[in-house]
Amino acid sequence: MSAQGPVRPGAPLLEVRDLHVTLSGKKIIDGVSLSVERGRSLGIVGESGSGKSVTVLSATGLLDAPRTEISGTAAVDGRPVIGASPQALRQLHGPSVGFVFQDPATSLNPLLTLERQLTEGPQTHLGLTRRQARSRALELLDAVGLPDPESRLEAYPHQLSGGQKQRVMIAVALACDPALLVADEPTTALDVTTQAQILQLVNDLKRDRDMSVVWISHDLGVIGQIADDVAVLYQGQVVEHAPVKDIFDAPQHDYTRTLLAARPRLGAARDLAAAPAGDDAPLLQISDMTVDFELRTSTGKKTVRANEDVTLHVRRGETLGIVGESGSGKSTIANVLTGLVTPVSGEVLLEGEDIIGVKGRTAREVRRRIAMVFQDPYAALNPRRSVAASLAEALGAAGWRGSVRRGVASRDGNRSREGSAASMRDRGAELLESVNLDGSFLDRYPHELSGGQRQRVCIARALALDPEVLILDESTASLDVSIQSQVIELLRRLQAEHGFAYLFIAHDLAVVEQMSHRIAVMKDGRVVEENEATELYRAPRQQYTRDLIAAIPPERPS
């Protein structure tokens, strides 16, 4: 309102020219130029660290990290952003730009009702009275498709599900009727079916309100659903900026082609090792397993059923994919198998022997035979311990004695497998080699590794146990697509070489299809459908499975 710049008709709503950003002496953005026309949407894709978020945050004046240097120009609706005073930015943010961030759980204030969060902006920026703001809040909640908005106004964020929270975030962003909606990975933390709904919602809103959208994502499938134009970012530069059809049909830059080729697709060629013959006895058999959790709430104890009568089996050399949305009980199965959780009923047989509640030496042997690779490779390695020390811990748990850190032999334990320190270090290097890392990585620390390298180390650590069953709990979910495809390739090769049985837990149905021989679909703690992978996708029997498959963004924009 204060800085009324010259508004040229037909000028882009957001225009960024030659943006350079340096954070703590490190060049993050190197000459980015972008523009978003009124009523159109721009998708920004790139892998982690490519500068997607920093570009948009600095172009809209939200970047205020210490030691930041920004140069170039950025204008919203003709009003300059870079170098603008905090006051000018505030007047720009509310009425002209709305923001939606990745994690709906932390973007809403847990202490305020939805009404307070929704009416704050309109009261400040549009000068509405409380009553007017309240009816506007109702309209907004209705517009974002939240059922029963009247009663929801009094609700607090914790009373909503993740998808509902993200809808509310969108409503908050729309509260002042902004001309531009900025969404930074808004569906990454959501389930596929919820993601599909949010995409639909934003597309509708964009059409109805003639709003511009900037949508940041690492997922080309999502971008294909929402964007009119796409900017591909790579190492702080825009390598390609074109209409969405051209990006998918005729990618100009090599990096775009790599991204397109690496993303998991339904029905992509699978070269899985043949599943073992059907008459093999299962290596791992889960029968009628039920797991309860006790939750302490303000009103007393509550029992939540995480698994109900789950029956699954997996054979040697076979991958069983387990898919389902968050809260469907997938990870509970992993926790039971690794002994972190005890079921209330049912049995889990490993080669015919029950492994529930085992203690002492038997327990250690069971833990060795069932290894697990965690979702987040950044958290699954102790940052204070070298790769060698992490591997040594696993080797130690598997009965090896000695040290991989020094070349000095330490005393052999009585259960020693091969004993000496040198052989243990050799074994560590061997393990790293089997995951395509060379022996020099032994002396590195987790912070010196990239995400993909860390996940390889985690896989090597699991291999150190010399296991028979490997649980892969969303093990590729936090990796960039190109890294993800490499890790999947590695996992397949290891299975072919060692005959591991995999339990592949994931929410991404395309990845699961690439990896699995058989797939079990879970909902509300139950297995609702289980079938051969190809059959399941070709002819899903349950409506829920059909919904899940339908919610996957199609390979190409329609």
Partner 1 sequence: MSQLAPGAGAASGPAPETGTPGSRRASAWRLLLSSPTGAAGLVVLAVLILAAVTARWLAPYGPNDIDVPNALAPPSGRNWLGTDELGRDVFSRVLLAAEVSLQVALVSVAIALVVGVTFGVIAGYAGGWLDLVVMRSADVLFAFPILLLALAIVAIQGPAISSVMIAIGVVYTPIFARVARASTLSLRQEPYVQAARTMGVPTWQILLRHILPGISGPVTVQTSISLAFAILSEAALSFLGLGVQPPNPSWGRMLFDAQGFLASAWWMAVFPGLAILVTVLAFNLVGDAVRDVLDPRQRSMIESRRKR
By CB under 8 A, is residue 385 in contact with partner 1? yes
d(CA 157, CA 376): 26
Tokens of 393: 């811990």
Q: Which is nearer to partner 1, 134 or 444 (CB)?
A: 444
Residue 6 burial by Cβ neighbours in a 10 Å radius (0-12, 13-18, 19+): exposed
Q: Minimum CB separation from partner 1 for residue 510, in Å?
A: 25
Say whether 417 sits in a helix, a strand or coil.
Answer: coil
Q: Minimum CB separation from partner 1 for residue 8, in Å?
A: 40
Tokens of 82: 């870079």
Q: Which is nearer to partner 1, 70 or 205 (CB)?
A: 70
If we measure between CA atoms, which residue out of 335, 336, 313, 333 comes closest to residue 323?
A: 333
By CB under 8 A, is residue 384 in contact with partner 1? yes
By CB under 8 A, is residue 432 in contact with partner 1? no
Q: Which is nearer to partner 1, 302 or 447 (CB)?
A: 447
By CB under 8 A, is residue 301 in contact with partner 1? no
Q: Which is nearer to partner 1, 140 or 371 (CB)?
A: 371
By CB under 8 A, is residue 461 in contact with partner 1? yes
Exactly one of 134, 245, 364, 526 binds partner 1 (CB under 8 A); that residue is 364
Span from 258-266, 418-426, 438-446, 485-493 in contact with partner 1 (CB under 8 A): 438-446
The whole-angstrom distance between residue 347's C-alpha and the CA centroid of its chain comes to: 32
Tell me if 517 sits within 8 A of 533, measured CB to CB.
yes
Say whether 148 sits in a helix, a strand or coil.
Answer: coil
Tell me the residue length of the chain: 558
Q: Which is nearer to partner 1, 65 or 261 (CB)?
A: 65
Tell me if 313 sits within 8 A of 286, measured CB to CB.
yes
Residues numbered 320-359 forming contacts with partner 1, rule: CB under 8 A: 338-340
Q: H helices of 36-191, where?
A: 52-59, 86-96, 104-107, 114-121, 130-143, 149-152, 162-174
Residues numbered 46-105 forming contacts with partner 1, rule: CB under 8 A: 49, 66-67
d(CA 149, CA 141): 6
By CB under 8 A, is residue 439 in contact with partner 1? no
The CA–CA distances, whole Å, from 184 to 59, 74, 98, 99, 101 equal 13, 18, 11, 8, 5
Phi and psi torsions of 389, nearest 5°: -65, -40
Exactly one of 195, 453, 475, 485 binds partner 1 (CB under 8 A); that residue is 453
Span from 84-92, 130-138, 265-273, 437-445 in contact with partner 1 (CB under 8 A): 437-445
Q: Minimum CB separation from partner 1 for residue 393, in Å?
A: 6
Name 463's Cβ contacts closer than 8 Å, sequence gap at least 6: 371, 431, 434, 435, 494
Q: H helices of 282-420, where?
A: 330-337, 360-369, 387-397
d(CA 296, CA 293): 10
Exactly one of 371, 488, 533, 536 binds partner 1 (CB under 8 A); that residue is 371
By CB under 8 A, is residue 179 in contact with partner 1? no
Phi and psi torsions of 308, nearest 5°: -135, 120
Run of H or E including 292: strand 284-297
Residues numbered 389-428 forming contacts with partner 1, rule: CB under 8 A: 393-394, 396-398
- The CA-CA-CA angle for residues 330, 323, 493, to 5°, reads 100
By CB under 8 A, is residue 195 in contact with partner 1? no
Span from 248-256, 373-381, 515-523, 525-533 in contact with partner 1 (CB under 8 A): 373-381
Exactly one of 63, 133, 380, 519 binds partner 1 (CB under 8 A); that residue is 380
Residues 502-531, one symbol each (x = binds partner 1 by CB under 8 A, - = not), give: ------------------------------
Residues that bind partner 1 (rule: CB under 8 A) add up to a total of 43
d(CA 341, CA 357): 10
Tokens of 414: 């009585």
Q: Minimum CB separation from partner 1 for residue 435, in Å?
A: 15
Span from 170-178, 324-332, 382-390, 423-431 in contact with partner 1 (CB under 8 A): 382-390
Q: Which is nearer to partner 1, 390 or 514 (CB)?
A: 390
DSSP string of 43-62? Answer: EEE--TTSSHHHHHHHHTT-
Q: Give contact residues for partner 1 (rule: CB under 8 A).
A: 24-26, 49, 66-67, 338-340, 363-368, 370-372, 374-376, 379-382, 384-385, 393-394, 396-398, 443-445, 447-450, 453, 458, 461, 465
